[in-house]
Amino acid sequence: MKKLFLLFIVICTTTVFSQKRILDTITSQKLNEDREITIGLPPSYQKNIKQNFPVLVLLDGDFLFDPFQGALSYGNYWDDLPEVIIVAIHQNKNNERETDCATEPTTGLPAEKGEKFFEFIGMELLPYIQKKYRCAPFKIIAGLDTTAGFLNCYLYKDNPVFDAYVSMSPELPAGMEEQIPERLAAIQKPIFYYQSIADGDVKKMKTRIQAMDEAIKKITSKTLNYRFEEFKGASHYSLVLYSIPDALYQIFSVYQPISMTEFQEKIATLPSGYVTYLTQKYDILEKSLGLKVQIRLNDFKAIEAAILKNKAYDEFDQLAQLAKKDYPKSMLADYEMAQMYEKKGDNARAVKSYLAAFQKEEIGDLTKDMMIGKSDELKASLPKKGKKGKVEPVVEETSPTDTPQADTPPTEIPTETPPPTETPVEEKKP
């Protein structure tokens, strides 16, 4: 447990400075008051001016900002998680988290200030952020205990404003363990739903959450991506440090590069369509998360390996077209074509493609020396050309003992077949 806390302390203190923090204040007509928020912009926000980013809204933003930001920065360093715009709502004044999340005792719906806070997030905060920053359509909301229970209220809408929900040890309002499973089964849009509990949670609260978990697990909807975790040995508060990376890796699983498991279980076993698998992976990423991402070089390598493993050499042509689109100045496209020609035995065209690759920019482990080496290796196997460009026939050499000398006549001529002395005359038909 101490190691876990130390890890997050290191992550938060070393990476937080790479993300720009902005303390902002929103004058809310719904709440009739000013509310403080902290905006965390991705490190590449100013550099990547054409990129939009998913939005993560944090209830209890006073203490959840740092652990979420640390996990996201760490995951993005390894290219496992995308960069995200974090919007943390401050709720540490005058018991705001309790009044913000007030619900009606019998229906469990937002009531009094809770109703106004519910509308503040959907009708004021999100439009403000979307107008001011480059936001992708994908939106996440997260909270702990009181705020975790409250965020479930957004699922009561026919078209929920959020796409992903991180509910850590939620204190469920009345009737929610029955109503949320019904809503998750009825919602047509894709929904990511994560909830967790810990050994240290109150037993009565855990019993209700577990009942809701059992009901959700029975849902067969293809649009629901659900994950539940019960952490042994964790307290109510250390639960957060376990849950955050777990939830983020669930929600952004489609973003991650092709892993060895994915390659072995989903790609290498296909009879064909390896390039189609790659394009669909990135199409889903764009449609589900709103992220337009350049195909990773390592993912190209994974598809190359699948093509070679299954001898589907014609698919190198399709892979080359993708390479031209995503890496137009690099040697990748010509290299893919060269592999196709070489594996199909067309060494002459393979040499031309390797030499064409030599003229382009190096990328990854593909170098100019490698292209020249490949072309020289294949050139040695090509037939030589004569002075006029014609292919010279290969002359087979024979040993001197097998070939009689021209000026030495044979010592004996068989009498059965005397050598002709003149040109034979065609025999006339009778």
Tell whether the torsion through CA atoms of 171, 174, 178 and 180 is positive or negative. negative
CB count within 10 Å of CB 421 equals: 5
Read off the pTM. 0.82
- 265 pLDDT higher than 90: yes
Q: What is the pLDDT of residue 383?
A: 80
Structure tokens at 399: 């040993």
Whole-angstrom distance, CA of residue 284 vs CA of residue 75: 20
Say which DSSP state 28 is in: E
User: Band of the pLDDT at 9, cuts 50, 70, 90?
Assistant: very low
Q: What is the pLDDT of residue 381?
A: 85
User: Band of the pLDDT at 405, cuts 50, 70, 90?
Assistant: very low
Q: What is the pLDDT of residue 92?
A: 87
pLDDT in tens, 266-316: 999 999 999 999 999 999 999 888 888 999 999 999 999 999 999 999 999
Q: What is the pLDDT of residue 288?
A: 84
Q: What is the pLDDT of residue 419?
A: 45
Q: What is the pLDDT of residue 387?
A: 53
3-state percent breakdown (helix, strand, coil) of the chain, nearest 5 = 45, 15, 35
Q: What is the pLDDT of residue 213?
A: 98
